[in-house]
């Protein structure tokens, strides 16, 4: 039953990817770029909308073997990089990993510095959002190719798909497209017919 559900989920994602690819852009968000980064125990997805950005961070449990916690997933509000040191609020997010309402994330922030090949996250206030042993700070290196890239990409694609469905259910179609379109546009068409495994998050490794 679980295998059948995973296969259906994969088909649903592929169908949605094809569908979104044919939707005319309804905002500048549809032309966004996706970059993936990784550090020990944590991954990041940076979506660039022109001169605006949204950062997704996932997992971050300390390497304590069986005592580590389950997945943690956060996203930031849009920010720019006019200054070297960036501070941005954590935004609500709704997927199978995290269901963070506005009241839950109020007052929580992420601080970082960024270059084209690195993200240096100096603060990620996830107390009360994730388990106590979760730490999302650190230096994240760019992941640009290979099977590791695909695994991480599909993890964030799946999360974006789930959040887009939630936006559609709450009558927010533009938010649905702006969330999913960057990943749909960056999805490599060869993957549609490739039966390789569906990616998992850093805590599933």
Q: How far is Cα 198 from Cα 8, in angstroms, rounded to an integer?
A: 12
pTM of the shown model? 0.80
| Structure confidence at residue 26 (pLDDT) | 44
Domain ranges of the chain: 2-204
pLDDT by 10s per residue, the chain, length 205: 545 544 544 555 555 555 555 444 444 455 678 999 999 989 999 999 888 999 999 985 444 444 444 589 999 999 998 767 899 999 999 988 888 999 999 999 999 999 999 999 999 999 999 988 899 999 999 999 888 899 999 999 999 999 999 899 989 988 888 899 999 889 888 887 776 645 556 665 5
The position carrying tokens 């005319």 is 24
Residues in Cβ contact with 125 at an 8 Å cutoff, skipping those fewer than 6 apart: 90, 107, 108, 109, 110
Task: Quote the pLDDT of residue 31.
Answer: 67
Residues 6+ apart with CB under 8 A from 87: 109, 110, 111
């Amino acid at each position: 039953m679980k295998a059948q559900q995973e296969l259906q989920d994969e088909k649903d994602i592929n169908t949605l990817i094809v569908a979104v690819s044919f939707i005319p852009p309804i905002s500048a968000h549809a032309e966004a770029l996706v970059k993936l980064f990784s550090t020990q125990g944590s991954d990041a997805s940076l979506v660039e909308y022109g001169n605006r950005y949204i950062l997704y961070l996932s997992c971050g449990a300390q390497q304590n073997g069986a005592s580590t916690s389950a997945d943690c997933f956060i996203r930031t509000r849009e920010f720019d990089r006019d200054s070297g040191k960036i501070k941005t609020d954590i935004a609500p997010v709704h997927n199978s990993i995290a269901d963070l309402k506005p009241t839950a994330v109020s007052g929580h922030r992420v601080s970082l510095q960024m270059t084209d090949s690195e993200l240096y996250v100096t603060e990620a206030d996830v107390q009360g959002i994730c388990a106590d042993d979760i730490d999302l700070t650190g230096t994240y290196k760019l992941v640009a190719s290979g099977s590791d890239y695909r695994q991480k990409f599909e993890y964030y694609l799946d999360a974006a798909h789930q959040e887009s469905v939630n936006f559609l259910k709450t009558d927010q179609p533009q938010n649905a497209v702006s969330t999913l379109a960057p990943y749909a546009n960056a999805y490599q068409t060869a993957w549609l017919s490739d039966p390789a495994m569906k990616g998992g998050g850093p805590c599933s490794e």
